[in-house]
């Protein structure tokens, strides 16, 4: 066993704190485990939980009507419901139109957009980003015309932490074509970046439980009044008209607790995350040579995100090497790392294949301590140096 374990692989999945687990347990066997659409006490308890959780989430988003929120079983499902559900429901008026997504969107946005567009005869256009992952409003303006029906651009990128200037991008879209429906995947923003739906003029927005240390198995989709969505699953309707099936009430209970923990002392939490991020990033840059930062720096970067490329090192090998020390990270894209393909996000910002393959993603959390960062900075140079001595790509000094 390694002397210490530090888990930074929060992009893929995260641990669930005891406070959240303790809240979930009674909903498995003591209360609220009934079907929330059935009229008996246990069903009513489950329904109360769902309503109360939506009210809490709506409050954190400055959303007046909690009924605009839909529970799914993951952020991926919420993205699919948004993209497929909108395109299918409006297929008659959208036939021959265009769908715009940024070139660094999560694959749960890109893939369903491509899938449905092929079926309906739509064109999917990937809007390019700059070297830090930003969509330039002037570039977006070039792509938006009367033939665009749907736009999806993340608030925060899941790999390189770019915080888009989304309000500016929405204004460009509305000015060029007020009929466009705008979706944003805010899964990596929620709990780390303040979101105000009264100010952020989006039509649909995705959230994910496990991104804020809630349990896996809960996603949320916000749908503005008047936006027509077609369910993409068919079955017996329950509380959620757009997502049939029995709601996962124990997991929703855990998500509710995770929301409470994330938004209690929100500003202090973000400040703490930022301090850990900067300590880790600066420590890496000062202790390891030939390192390149992926994405922006400072306030334009998500407070939990550190993504760096190590020259002359293969990312998968470094992931394995660090795990031997008890430090757990992810390499390249969390969605494609097992296939050893370079991250589409890193390629989109102009990284060469070698640098993309040598990139490592760390995500810090409020459950990390300074000593965790110290330990990572102690073992990381050792791991990198050992792999570089084995690599034929490492420059040899005379």
Which CATH class name applies to 18-263? alpha beta
Which residues are CB-neighbours of 85 under 8 A, at least 6 positions away? Answer: 229, 230, 231, 232, 242
Contact call for residues 309 and 292 (beta carbons, < 8 A): yes
pLDDT at 35: 86
Which residues are CB-neighbours of 156 under 8 A, at least 6 positions away? Answer: 162, 163, 164, 186, 188, 189, 192, 193, 302
pLDDT digits (tens, 9 = 90+) for 144-192: 999 999 999 999 999 999 999 999 999 999 999 999 999 999 999 999 9
pLDDT at 339: 56
pLDDT at 340: 64
The structure tokens listed for 15 are 């641990």
Instruction: Find the catalytic residue in 173, 253, 335, 379.
Output: 335
pLDDT at 285: 97
Contact call for residues 270 and 325 (beta carbons, < 8 A): no
> Rounded to an integer, what distance in angstroms lies between the CA atom of residue 67 and that of residue 225?
10
pLDDT below 50 — which residues of the chain? 333-337, 398
Q: Is 335 a catalytic residue?
A: yes
Q: List the beta strands (DSSP E) in the chain.
A: 6-7, 69-72, 98-102, 123-127, 148-152, 181-185, 204-208, 219-223, 291-293, 305-310, 327-328, 330-331, 359-363
> Rounded to an integer, what distance in angstroms lies between the CA atom of residue 273 and that of residue 282?
14
Mean pLDDT (the chain) is 94
The CATH code that applies to domain 6-15+266-390 is: 3.90.1150.10
Domain with CATH 3.40.640.10 in the chain: 18-263
pLDDT at 371: 98
Domain with CATH 3.90.1150.10 in the chain: 6-15+266-390
Q: What is the pTM of this model?
A: 0.95
Comparing C-alpha atoms, which of 265, 51, 52, 79 is closest to residue 154? 79
């Amino acid at each position: 066993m390694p002397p210490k374990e530090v888990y930074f692989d929060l992009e893929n999945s995260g641990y669930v704190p005891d406070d959240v687990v303790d809240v979930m347990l009674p909903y498995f066997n003591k209360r609220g485990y009934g079907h929330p659409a059935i009229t008996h006490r246990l069903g009513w308890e489950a329904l109360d939980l769902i309503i109360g959780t939506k009210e809490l989430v709506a409050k954190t988003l400055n959303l007046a009507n909690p009924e605009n929120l839909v529970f799914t079983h993951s952020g991926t499902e919420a993205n699919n419901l948004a993209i497929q559900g909108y395109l299918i429901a409006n297929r008659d008026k959208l036939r021959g139109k265009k769908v715009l997504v940024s070139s660094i969107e999560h694959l749960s946005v890109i893939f369903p957009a491509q899938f449905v567009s092929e079926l309906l005869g739509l064109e999917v256009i990937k809007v390019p980003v700059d070297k830090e992952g930003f969509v330039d409003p002037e570039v977006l303006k070039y792509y938006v015309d009367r033939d665009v029906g749907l736009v999806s651009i993340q608030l925060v990128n899941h790999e390189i932490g770019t915080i888009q200037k989304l309000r500016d991008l929405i204004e460009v879209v509305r000015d060029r074509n007020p009929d466009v429906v705008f979706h944003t995947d805010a899964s990596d923003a929620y709990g780390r970046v303040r979101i105000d739906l009264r100010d952020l003029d989006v039509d649909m927005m995705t959230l994910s439980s496990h991104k804020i240390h809630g349990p896996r198995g809960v996603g949320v989709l916000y749908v503005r009044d008047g936006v027509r969505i077609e369910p993409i699953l068919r079955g017996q309707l329950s509380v959620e008209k757009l997502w049939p099936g029995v709601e996962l009430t124990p997991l929703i209970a855990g998500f509710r607790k995770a929301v409470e923990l994330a938004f209690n002392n929100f500003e202090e939490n973000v400040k703490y995350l930022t301090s850990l991020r900067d300590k880790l990033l600066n420590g890496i840059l000062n202790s390891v040579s030939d390192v390149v930062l992926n994405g922006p720096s400072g306030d334009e970067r998500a407070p939990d995100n550190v993504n760096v490329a190590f020259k002359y090192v293969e990312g998968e090998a470094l992931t394995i090497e660090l795990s031997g020390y008890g430090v757990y990270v992810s390499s390249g894209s969390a969605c494609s790392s097992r296939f050893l393909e370079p991250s589409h996000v890193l390629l989109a910002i102009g990284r060469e294949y070698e640098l993309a393959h040598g990139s490592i993603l760390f995500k810090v959390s409020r459950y990390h301590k300074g000593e965790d960062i110290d330990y990572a900075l102690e073992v990381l140079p050792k791991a990198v140096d050992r792999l570089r001595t084995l690599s034929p790509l490492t420059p040899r000094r005379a």
